[in-house]
Amino acid sequence: MTVMGRGGRKPGEPIYLRRHMIALALAVIVPLVILQLYKIYVGPLSFDFQLGVGLFLSIILGIALHLAYRSSAKNQP
């Protein structure tokens, strides 16, 4: 049986703040929204292009999230 620490977290469990969850949701949603807006205002895209752009944007946004929030999401001792 593990003892819950302050705030209901187990010792060593990462601290995820509300801003981390909002940023993660944006990182997932933004590539989809950008592709849909492009299809609406510019024209249709091939599936391969959509997949490539979606993967590229997801990787770039994931790296940006990691760099922006790694110091505030460190494990608690």
**pLDDT 10s digits, 25-37:** 887 888 888 888 8
Contact 69, 8 (CB under 8 A): no
Q: Looking at the domain assignment, is residue 51 inside a domain?
A: yes
Specify the number of domains making up the chain: 1
User: Does 21 map to a domain?
Assistant: no
| 10: in domain | no
Nearest to 37 by CA among 26, 25, 29: 29
Q: What's residue 1's pLDDT?
A: 47
**0.75 cut: is pTM over it?**
no
Q: Is residue 23 part of a domain?
A: no
**Domain-located, residue 55:** yes
Q: Which residue range(s) make up the domain with 33?
A: 28-77
Of how many residues is the chain composed? 77
38 belongs to a structural domain = yes
